[in-house]
Structure 1
Amino acid sequence: MEKLSAFASQPSTLLQNINVDNEMGTSNKPPNLLRMEDYPSWADKFETYVQALYYETWTAIEEEYVIPKNENGSNYRLSQIVEGDKSMFLREKKMLNLFQQAIKAENFQLLQHNGSCYSIWHALLNKDRGNHDMRKSKMTLLKKEFDIFTQVNGETFAQLVVRYCHLVNEMKRLGIDKPDYEYVDKLADALPEELGLFIMIQQSNLVVYPG
């Protein structure tokens, strides 16, 4: 019962630990690519993870491997693969397994590749290049949304704070960051007027402005 109470009392900590494991990977699983827009930061973590734990496997990325075919143009059965090809075949399959663990299934389906790990890695790179302009446009929109952020008609205090936190999280996820006092000022400006005095007191007590 005590263990259950401890579990229930620390949901945010547990969630943070799960998010860190997904982002950085563990000894048993690679970092997860949950959204294609996260590719730039994920690619560095994934490369470091694989090279550190599966160095030989990483070479499947550097040189494309094609499963040998027989005279009929069909892939060899496993029993037909010669000894010299077995290590490359295993390397390819291990790398493919890491990709399948790391990349969310629906994202994997969006990639255009020929099935080799080499082509999958380059398909990810090409997909990110295509997303670059979209990410840039989204950053511009988020900055504008932050600049004009205010309470909307009928919105409760709780709803406003949730919407604001979501906006700030989206900005930080895309690499947009601002000094803490700007975040505080923007939220203070958006709050109902009746909270103005309270906010002024909190700002004078907690916020240290530069200069």
Structure 2
Amino acid sequence: MDDIFLNPFSDMYAFTGSSGNNDTSSSNTNENQPKEKKKEAWESESAFGTFNKPPKLMAIEEYSRWSRKFEDWLMAFAYASWKSLKNGYTLGDKTGETLSSAEEIESFVAEQMCVALLFQSVREDIISLIDYSNAKDLWNKLKAKCIGSEEIVKNKRKLLRK
């Protein structure tokens, strides 16, 4: 077995008591190490996502980096939803009540999964006020909210050049 599995939580609950030494400085650093490792693991999990969770957008300023990670994650773990994100939902009823063919149902489920994953991966205060009609519309409006319109982007570039 050549593969090594590194678990960031492996020594989180390890005993950190002193061995009779009166040196309190070493025991304080040992007590903080599990908390620091847990914090680092949480931050990396939020930033990169896992098999079950997409990467999380925690701040508007991180949108450009997050959007690439989210698209890659969606393409790898929910391909039908990624297609829905890129093309939009056009088949059948928007409520899903009158869907009949397997293709319509599959497309509707992929659309709803994509919207759910977007809501799961974006902080509530960033996405809460966006009104959308489908996943593609939500994606485009989220981009406009985080980056700004073309005019705002041009003005930012001009400001940076000055």
Count of residues in Structure 1 that have an aligned counterpart in Structure 2 = 129
What is the CA-CA distance between 1:17 and the residue it aligns to?
Answer: 1.2
Within the candidate set 4, 26, 50, 1:26 is matched to 50
Q: What is the CA deviation profile of residues 166-205 of structure 1, one whole-angstrom value per residue up to 9, with x for unaligned ones?
A: xxxxxxxxxxxxxxxxxxxxxxxxxxxxxxxxxxxxxxxx
CA contact (8 A) 2:48 2:54 kept: yes
CA contact (8 A) 1:34 1:103 kept: yes
Within the candidate set 16, 24, 30, 1:5 is matched to 16
What is the CA-CA distance between 1:68 and the residue it aligns to?
Answer: 3.4
1:95 aligns with 2:95: no
Aligned counterpart, 1:117: 135
Structure 1 runs of 4+ off > 2 angstroms? 2-9, 66-69, 110-114
CA contact (8 A) 2:91 2:107 kept: no
The two structures have a TM-score, normalised by structure 2, of: 0.68
Letter in structure 1 aligned against 2:137: S
Letter in structure 1 aligned against 2:132: H
Q: Distance in 1 between matches of 2:73 and 2:109?
A: 19
Could you tell me the percent identity over the aligned residues?
22
**Equivalences for 1:191-202 in 2 at 5 Å?**
none
Q: Secondary structure at the match of 2:64?
A: helix
Aligned counterpart, 1:37: 61
Letter in structure 2 aligned against 1:52: A
Say what the alpha-carbon RMSD is for the aligned residues. Answer: 2.8
Q: Distance in 1 between matches of 2:44 and 2:95?
A: 40
What is the CA-CA distance between 1:52 and the residue it aligns to?
Answer: 1.2
What is the CA-CA distance between 1:76 and the residue it aligns to?
Answer: 5.0
Larger radius of gyration: 1
Q: 1:57 to 1:41 in 2, by over 3 A?
A: same
CA contact (8 A) 1:67 1:75 kept: no
The two structures have a TM-score, normalised by structure 1, of: 0.53
CA contact (8 A) 2:84 2:136 kept: yes
Aligned counterpart, 1:104: 123
- Identify unmatched segments of 5+ residues in structure 1: 141-211
Q: What is the CA deviation profile of residues 6-34 of structure 1, one whole-angstrom value per residue up to 9, with x for unaligned ones?
A: 98431222211110100000111000011
What is the CA-CA distance between 1:4 and the residue it aligns to?
Answer: 5.6
What is the CA-CA distance between 1:56 and the residue it aligns to?
Answer: 2.0
- Identify unmatched segments of 5+ residues in structure 2: 1-12, 18-29
